[in-house]
Amino acid sequence: MYNLQAIISKGTNNALVQFERFGQIANNLANVQTNGYKKVTFEQILKEDGYLTGAVRTDHSQGSIRITKSPYDVAIDGPGYIPVVSPSGEVQYTRDGSFRQGKDGYLTTSDGWIVGEGIKIPTNCFKFEIKKNGEVLVYDARGDKAKKVGTIPLVRFDNPDGMQTADMNRLIATDEAGEGRLVKNHDCIKQNNLERANVSIYESATDLLRLNASMLASMQMLKLADTMYNKSINIREG
């Protein structure tokens, strides 16, 4: 009976680990259209005692970059994150550059977080330009000289894996991530572009099919062990 209990315990544990992995893959697929989303990987590890365990990691590799029609859109071509500030002053980081002009003229995220230290674009400017180094230039009229109104900052961390996920596809800096370093003299900002999620639909679908077969095998093993366990109890009671 002890062996049957051990089988049931291991089977239950392993099924739960597989369900967790299933949830991570499903979440990746749900965010395949989310700008700058970084997929979560789930590494299954079979221990010597037969129990499965899992290690969750974020894949910080860059997604493909697509051209857009909005001059407010920016993509980061290379490592790093753009700091954004909440209305209450909290700082978080993002690679989702689908920005817009807020009511007060400042460049913001889709949910109103200020980009960098605050970049105000005059509502009456003829056009504005975001250079590859992040500088934002505005033109009041045709032929006028450009005026710099701010810079979109780029910050890098020694250990991006140590960052904590937050709402709206943002990240929070932690001690484990290390101190954020402001990058200077770069050419990583691309206006009129957005970074796609680094999720492969084909790979995720393949992983789901394989995982589904593994989960079915685990459930069948649990069902068989449970049947044998109940029979052994009936024999003892009989």
SS3 assignment for 168-216: HHCEECCCCCCCCEECCCCCCEEECEEECCCCCHHHHHHHHHHHHHHHH
Q: What is the mean pLDDT of residues 49-71?
A: 86
pLDDT at 20: 84
Q: What is the mean pLDDT of residues 107-115?
A: 97
76: domain range? 62-194
Most confident of 38-47, 82-91, 137-146: 82-91
Same domain, 210 and 185: no
pLDDT at 13: 75
Q: Is the pLDDT of residue 111 over 70?
A: yes
What is the reported pTM?
0.82
Place of tokens 């044998």: 228
pLDDT digits (tens, 9 = 90+) for 145-204: 889 999 999 999 999 999 999 999 999 999 999 999 999 999 999 999 999 999 999 999
Same domain, 106 and 146: yes
Same domain, 110 and 141: yes
Please provide the DSSP assignment of 216-235 as one string.
Answer: HHHHHHHHHHHHHHHHHHHH
**What is the CA 140 to chain-centroid distance, rounded?**
38
Judging by beta carbons within 10 Å of its beta carbon (0-12, 13-18, 19+), is residue 237 exposed, middle or buried? exposed
Closest CA to 27 of 15, 38, 12, 16: 38
Q: Tokens representing 176? A: 């484990």
- Tell me the residue type at 131: K
Q: Is the pLDDT of residue 44 over 70?
A: no
- Tell me the residue type at 75: A
Q: For the chain, how many structural domains are there in total?
A: 2
pLDDT at 89: 97
Q: Is the pLDDT of residue 117 over 60?
A: yes
Same domain, 216 and 171: no
Same domain, 102 and 180: yes
Is the pLDDT higher at 73 or at 140?
73
C-beta separation of 32 from 166 below 8 A: no
Question: What pLDDT band is residue 45 in, cutting at 50, 70 and 90?
Answer: low
C-beta separation of 75 from 81 below 8 A: no
Same domain, 69 and 144: yes
Same domain, 81 and 184: yes
Closest CA to 25 of 193, 218, 169, 206: 206
Report the alpha-carbon distance of residue 121 to residue 115 in Å, rounded: 12
Same domain, 186 and 163: yes
pLDDT at 4: 66
Q: Is the pLDDT of residue 32 over 80?
A: yes
Name the average pLDDT for the chain: 88
Looking at the chain, the whole-number percentage of residues with pLDDT higher than 90 is: 62
